[in-house]
Amino acid sequence: MTSVQARHRRSLLGALGLTAFLLLWELALRSGLLPGSLVPLPSTIPGVLAAEVADGIWFEVVMSSLTHYSVGLLLGSLLGITVGVSAALLPAVDALHAWLARLLRPIPPLAWIPFAIIWFGINPTAAAFIISIGVFWINYFASYSAVSSVDPGYDEVARAFGQGGFLARLAKVSLPAAAPGILGGLRAGLGQGWMTVVAAELFGIPGIGQRMMEASSLLATDIVVVYMLTIAGLYAAFDFLFMTLQRRLLRWQP
């Protein structure tokens, strides 16, 4: 079996598994095994999504979430990579912030919500701040580990060819060699951002999270499921685009 055939077979099995799950879910509700008042019928979800789109609600909340998700993702990724790479390459920077990193790392992003509200108020800036914290630590540790794992022999080769300066070695040795690990951290941050964005919106910031809370307070579980699937779809789209970009950037790999 060729690799292409294996991928097609895997995709087919995945589709069959999802279809079987939805059918069992539908049958369990229609037969009364599950409470219909608390769990929506899968067959009703497309109609609910269409109604949300027709009313303009879906586009409004999705664009709101995408705005502070993008800002938080960008800030957290840039800061995380910058600090992680600096700490891995500069022993003084590593020593200066080592205890601070150990102190702050265990604190979950949602624990910063009270400070986000006090500092920024209940607005998208507060949500972007919460998202950036979660994304920061993933990119920080991924970048730190990737750069620390680069073979020191590469630096020796660079010096032998006259590239002994710090910036030259950074651009031509450290970052290219660590690129797979750094990009892996960026990809993980994409998912972490979506896991944080909903929780960050639960305290009143317009977006998918707020819409889900409104729906759950009315026991409109079908609407909740619509936005759960929306998050899954958005993450899948972002992940696909990122993987396409990653393959282009790392096309030099065997």
Rounded Cα distance, 212 and 81, in Å: 33
Read off the pTM.
Answer: 0.83
Q: How confident is the model at residue 1 (pLDDT cuts 50, 70, 90)?
A: low
Residue 69's φ and ψ, nearest 5 degrees, are -65, -45
pLDDT digits (tens, 9 = 90+) for 163-176: 666 676 677 777 77
Say what percent of the chain tops pLDDT 90. Answer: 25
pLDDT at 188 over 80: yes
Q: What is the mean pLDDT of residues 113-135?
A: 89
pLDDT at 71 over 90: yes
pLDDT, position 168: 65
Q: Is the dihedral of CA 31, 36, 41, 44 positive or negative?
A: positive
Q: Which residue has the higher pLDDT, 225 or 177?
A: 225
